[in-house]
Structures are given as structure tokens and as C-alpha cells.
């Protein structure tokens, strides 16, 4: 079913919207959540919570890119759940590795003078990504948005795991330099 038709179901408050969303984007959302959480059960709960949040946000919101809208919701819910699990000293998986890789690129949220509006930081990151070759963009998004392993990222861009690791290392250095240039990081 087309996204516009699904959105019309949400606006009509027709519960069929949730079934159609799950049919079209359930696998996509489960994959994002499971990569972050490493648990099928936790991922399923996050996906169900995603449908609830979509139901509560539409209307009044009308997402321009429905898939990205759902991806953001499920990713944020999954990261929140991951953080709660870490607090309880349960598990970890890939997410801890991903966050540790990016820690030297992003300003600390604990420093008030370094806080930027999420939108502004997102715009800076988008501009930086737009300057990267397609292969680099794909690698960065697959690794840090979809939480792909290094091997999966390498397969997506057609190189060895070592080459993907080196590419991502160079990209993180480039991102940090870009953030320094933008005055976000010093």
C-alpha cells in the first residue's frame, strides 16, 4: 500500500493504518531495533511502541518521509531501551561499540556551552554527509544509523572488513574536523 494511503488511514483514525504500517515497514523497524538491542523480544516491544507513537503523532503531524519517520521513532525507542538495560547491567551488543566509536566526534551533551539544538547538529551532519562520496555515505549510515556490524557494512560497500574499518575511522576524523570547523567541537 502506498504511504499516502496509509497516512490517510491514520488521519481517518482507522486502525487498519497500523496493520498496513506493520505489513510495509515492520521488517525494516524490527531490523533497526534488533541491531541495537540484540534481542528479538525487546525489538518487538519497541516496534509495537513505534506503532503507538505513530498513531499518537499522526495526526497532527503528516510525515513527508514516512519510512524515515518510523525509523527515527524505533531507533530512539531502541536506544532508550538499550540505555535502560545498560543501567541495569544487562547486555550490550553492538550499540556500546557504535557509541564509543562516535564519542570522539560528537560534543558531550553534559557541557551546556556545547549543546546545540538537535536540528542544527542534524543539519551540520547532513551537510557533511552530502559532501562525502556515495560509498562513504552508505558506509557511515549503515554503521551508525542501522547499526550494521563491520562485516555487514563492508559487504554493503563491497570491500573487506579491514577496509571498511579504516574508511569509517577516516570518516570519523573528517566528521570531527568538520564539527570543529563549524564551532561545535574544540
Average pLDDT over the chain, rounded to whole? 85
Give CATH for domain 96-181: 1.10.10.10
Q: Which is it for the CA torsion 89, 90, 95, 101, positive or negative? A: positive
**Per-residue model confidence as pLDDT tens digits over 19-67:** 999 999 999 999 999 988 888 999 999 999 999 999 999 999 999 999 9
The model's pTM: 0.65
Q: Say if domain 3-92 classifies as CATH 1.10.1740.10.
A: yes
Q: Residue 2: left (phi > 0), alpha (psi -120 to 50), or beta?
A: beta
Long-range contacts of 63-70 (CB under 8 A, 24+ apart): 63/7, 66/3, 66/6, 66/7, 66/25, 67/3, 67/25, 67/28, 70/21, 70/25, 70/28, 70/29
| Whole-angstrom Cα Rg for the chain | 18
Say whether pLDDT at 108 is over 60: no
Answer for the pair 74, 43: CB distance below 8 angstroms, yes or no. no
In angstroms, the CA 88 to CA 75 distance is 20
Whether the bond between 59 and the residue before it is cis, its omega within 30 degrees of 0, is yes
Here the cell at position 133 is 562520496
* Domain locations in the chain as residue ranges: 3-92, 96-181
The answer to whether residues 106 and 185 touch, using CB atoms and an 8 Å cutoff, is: yes
pLDDT value of position 83:
81
For 160-184, how does the pLDDT look when each residue is reduced to its tens digit (9 = 90+)? 999 999 999 999 999 888 888 887 7
Q: Tell me if domain 3-92 and domain 96-181 are identical in fold.
A: no
Amino acid at each position: 500500500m502506498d504511504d499516502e494511503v496509509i497516512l490517510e488511514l491514520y488521519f481517518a483514525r482507522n486502525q487498519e493504518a497500523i496493520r498496513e504500517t506493520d505489513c510495509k515497514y515492520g521488517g525494516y523497524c524490527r531490523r533497526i531495533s534488533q541491531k541495537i538491542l540484540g534481542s528479538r523480544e525487546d525489538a518487538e516491544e519497541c516496534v509495537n511502541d513505534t506503532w503507538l507513537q505513530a498513531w499518537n503523532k499522526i495526526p497532527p503531524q503528516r510525515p513527508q518521509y514516512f519510512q524515515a519517520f518510523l525509523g527515527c521513532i524505533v531507533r530512539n525507542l531502541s536506544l532508550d531501551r538499550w540505555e535502560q538495560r545498560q543501567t541495569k547491567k544487562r547486555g550490550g551488543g553492538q550499540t556500546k561499540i557504535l557509541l564509543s566509536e562516535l564519542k570522539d566526534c560528537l560534543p558531550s551533551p553534559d557541557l551546556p556551552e556545547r549543546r546545540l539544538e538537535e536540528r542544527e547538529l542534524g543539519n551540520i551532519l547532513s551537510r557533511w554527509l552530502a559532501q562525502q562520496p556515495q560509498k562513504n555515505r552508505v558506509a557511515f549510515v549503515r554503521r551508525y544509523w542501522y547499526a550494521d556490524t563491520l562485516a555487514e557494512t563492508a559487504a554493503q560497500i563491497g570491500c573487506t572488513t579491514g577496509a571498511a574499518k579504516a574508511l569509517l575511522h577516516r570518516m570519523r576524523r573528517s566528521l570531527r574536523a568538520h564539527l570543529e570547523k563549524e564551532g561545535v567541537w574544540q
